[in-house]
């Protein structure tokens, strides 16, 4: 497997908005108040109006230009990108006759994904994730859907990224059945694209976790810990994005709505299955990272054990020897008494002393060797080598598979 390029971990902390998030009004302020950020991008309004045979596709200058398209039989997809102008958004609300709370939910991002029914509209708040260009991580953005009988209004936070390009292509090139269907099918198609957009993000995490597994086992450092923690935090964010989304889709299926035809129900069921799969994967990855944390802690303890072993081996061998050397460094007066350190005057005194020291040293080394204290040093080396071989061995089929 080609080593996945990791962006330096700092950039991974980017999706901050999703952490301390959820938009909130000033407590007690008017419901329906729109809060526009000063630096928000002014909205771009794209219109796709199509039926099986005809297609209009243009950028609109004002929301009011939608009017002629809304009540025709053809499907009108009005895609608003960017939340930068209160004036335009308010006018948009009037064109589509949006309830003030709906407009608030659309504009005051982030909101929790949900489905809400209004008289002749179905409002869906969804959260879209777009993988970072390099490495793991993702940008996330709210997409709001307002589904009417003949139109679909979608509002995105920013015009930069989305995962609808494929859908636009299918409309333009009239691929598949999309142009033959109603607005509800278009809504399904877009929601499906959003859900499917979680998979590449998760796959990157999956590979990253595998790399972490290897790192934890072969070479755990302080950065490893931070990486694990950050993956956990980002998975938490992902879970918070997909969980309510799954519930929203489920309530769409279960509660029914006249704007959603039976025909589309079957597709939504498929979409729901995918959302459940995403959640499954997120949960699995979370369990894996929490297991990794345990492994990390154990690895640190093991490393400590080895440090201590080294210290103990060296101390245990040399401290007694130093003591012996100390004894024969004492200055007892050998002349005053035959009992005072007669060894010093022996012919073989020094060699015997050294031999004794060597015997003690080798005895201790043998003792430690028997208890297996020296094993780790060699085995670790082997293990790593083996692991690498194995890694590359099974990597081939998989990367081939995914990229095919």
> Segment 327-386, which members bind its own copies (CB under 8 A)?
327-334, 336-337, 339-341, 343-351, 353-354, 372, 375-376, 379-380, 383, 386
The DSSP annotation for 150-170 comes to: SEEEEEES-SS--S-HHHHHH
Q: What residues numbered 219-258 form the site for its own copies, per CB under 8 A?
A: 219, 221-223, 225-226, 229, 232-233, 236, 240
Which strand (E) or helix (H) includes residue 235? helix 222-255
Largest pairwise CA distance in the chain: 124
Query: Of 5 and 401, which has the nearer Cβ to its own copies?
Result: 401
Minimal distance, residue 71 CB to its own copies, in Å: 25
Closest separation in Å from C-beta 200 to its own copies = 7
Cβ atoms of residues 164 and 141 within 8 Å: no
Among 49, 184, 207, 215, binds its own copies (CB under 8 A): 207
Q: Which of 4, 57, 307, 358 binds its own copies (CB under 8 A)?
A: 307
Q: Minimum CB separation from its own copies for residue 120, in Å?
A: 15
Tell me what percent of the chain is helix, strand and coil, each rounded to the nearest 5: 60, 15, 30
CB neighbours of 345 closer than 8 A, spacing ≥ 6? Answer: 334
Count the helices and strands in the chain (H runs, E runs): 11, 7
Q: Does 288 bind its own copies (CB under 8 A)?
A: yes
Residue 31, interface with its own copies (CB under 8 A)? yes
Burial bucket for residue 114 (CB in 10 Å: 0-12, 13-18, 19+): middle
**Region of 30-38, 56-64, 73-81, 87-95 interacting with its own copies (CB under 8 A):** 30-38
Q: 4, 57, 266, 359: which one contacts its own copies (CB under 8 A)? A: 266
Does residue number 172 form part of the binding site for its own copies (CB under 8 A)?
no
Q: How far apart are CA 401 and CA 395, in angstroms?
A: 10
The answer to whether 201 and 138 are in contact (CB under 8 A) is yes
Query: Which 126-165 residues touch its own copies, going by CB under 8 A?
Result: 163-165
Is 70 or 295 the residue whose CB approaches its own copies more closely?
Answer: 295
């Amino acid at each position: 497997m080609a080593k996945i390029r990791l962006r330096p971990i700092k950039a991974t902390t980017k999706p901050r908005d999703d952490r301390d998030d959820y938009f909130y009004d000033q407590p007690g302020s008017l419901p329906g108040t729109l809060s526009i950020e000063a630096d928000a991008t002014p909205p771009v309004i794209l219109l796709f109006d199509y039926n099986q045979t005809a297609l209009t596709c243009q950028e609109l200058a004002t929301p009011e230009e939608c009017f002629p398209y809304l009540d025709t039989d053809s499907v009108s997809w009005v895609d608003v990108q960017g939340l930068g102008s209160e004036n335009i958004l308010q006018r948009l609300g009037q064109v589509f006759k949006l309830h003030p709370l709906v407009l608030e939910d659309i504009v005051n991002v982030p909101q929790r994904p949900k489905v809400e029914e209004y008289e002749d509209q179905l409002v869906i708040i969804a959260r879209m994730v777009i993988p970072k260009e390099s490495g793991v991580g993702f940008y996330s953005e709210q997409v709001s859907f307002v589904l009417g009988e003949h139109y679909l209004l979608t509002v995105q936070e920013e015009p930069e990224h989305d995962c609808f390009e494929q859908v636009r292509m299918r409309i333009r090139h009239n691929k598949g059945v999309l142009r033959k269907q109603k607005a509800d099918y278009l809504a399904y198609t877009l929601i499906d694209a959003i859900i499917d957009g979680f998979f590449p993000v998760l796959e990157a995490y999956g590979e990253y976790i595998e790399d972490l597994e290897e790192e934890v086992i072969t070479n755990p450092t302080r950065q490893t810990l931070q990486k694990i923690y950050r993956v956990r935090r980002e998975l938490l964010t992902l879970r918070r994005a997909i969980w309510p989304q799954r519930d929203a889709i489920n309530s769409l299926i279960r509660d029914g709505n006249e704007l959603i035809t039976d025909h589309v129900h079957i597709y939504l069921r498929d979409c729901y299955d995918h959302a459940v799969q995403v959640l499954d994967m997120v949960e699995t990855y979370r369990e894996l990272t929490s297991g990794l944390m345990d492994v990390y802690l154990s690895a640190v303890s093991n490393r400590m054990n080895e440090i201590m072993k080294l210290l103990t081996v060296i101390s245990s061998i040399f401290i007694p020897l130093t003591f012996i050397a100390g004894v024969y460094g004492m200055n007892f007066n050998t002349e005053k008494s035959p009992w005072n350190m007669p060894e010093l005057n022996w012919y073989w005194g020094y060699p015997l002393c050294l031999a004794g020291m060597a015997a003690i040293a080798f005895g201790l080394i043998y003792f430690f060797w028997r208890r297996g204290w020296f094993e780790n040093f060699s085995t670790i080396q082997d293990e790593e080598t083996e692991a690498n071989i194995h890694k590359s061995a099974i990597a081939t089929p998989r990367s081939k598979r995914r990229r095919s």
